[in-house]
Amino acid sequence: MEYVRVRDAEVPAIGLGTWQLTGEQCYETVSTALELGYRHVDTAQLYGNEREVGSAIADADVDREDVFLTTKVTPGNARYDDVIESTRASLDRLDTDYVDLLLLHWPAPLVSFRETARAMAELRDEGLVRHAGVSNFRRWRLKRAREKSPIPLVADQVRLHPHYTHRSLREYCADVDAMVTAYSPLAHGGLVDDDLLARIGERYGKTPAQVALRWVTQLANVAAIPKSTNREHLAGNLAALDFELTDAEMERIDRPSLVRSAGLFLRNEMGL
């Protein structure tokens, strides 16, 4: 396993995203992932699956200390007291004494991030949270959040793939010793039949999805949390770490396009 190291955090470069996974399917998927070697699991209060994620981790033949577990506070819980109360409730559902990373899921414009961060700092001081961060923050918003936070913000989780690259955010995070966690790194499944990725993959015996994941994880300070319920695909995602793209290939794959990105997103949302 490769790791992203920022400050005193060591995060597996590929983890499991659990958005839209619920009930037994969520439990079985997390269990399978842990069996295959995943040690990074991402959930959120909004996903409604913290209980299943926690049960799978508790039942796995893996020490809790070996799993990097992230959950996210819904923006409706961004006020100080609500951050404290909702995080404690998350810990109860996850059946754990702490989470490795607590994020604010989306910006909460009606609440000063200073208030949110102050609560995160208290949770960290109590040992309930090891690291804090944000999700879906653009560069300018992350910069302002860092200025208001009494503790380091070690991560910003955003949608990131070869057509939606967040270059300025990534450069900023590298400069301030923070990481970017890439959700939807396969562009909602839209990259699995990408011609360029397929051609590059032929050289290494890899699928387009594996090439896309390798591109993401070779970026500085970036981890990826693809979602899959298929055992073969889960194993294949981990296998994306056993080869290395050349600098020229990295540049060819980097093809930012809001049109392509939006098209792939809409195709997924509409089931096209």
What amino acid positions are annotated as catalytic residues? 47
Residue of 35, 54, 40 whose CA lies nearest to 9: 40
- Return the SS3 of 126: coil
Start-end of H helices in 206-257: 208-218, 231-238, 247-253
Residue of 9, 11, 12, 17 whose CA lies nearest to 37: 12
Does residue 121 contact residue 91 with C-beta atoms inside 8 Å? no
How, if at all, do strands 40-42 and 153-159 pair?
A: unpaired
How, if at all, do strands 153-159 and 179-183 pair?
A: parallel
Q: Calculate ∠ Cα 66-240-227, nearest 5°.
A: 65
Q: How far is CA 24 from CA 21, 38, 131, 229, in A?
A: 9, 19, 29, 11
How, if at all, do strands 16-17 and 153-159 pair?
A: unpaired
Give residue 87's region: left, alpha or beta (phi > 0; psi -120 to 50): alpha
Helix (H) / strand (E) element for 222: namely strand 222-224
How, if at all, do strands 3-6 and 9-12 pair?
A: antiparallel
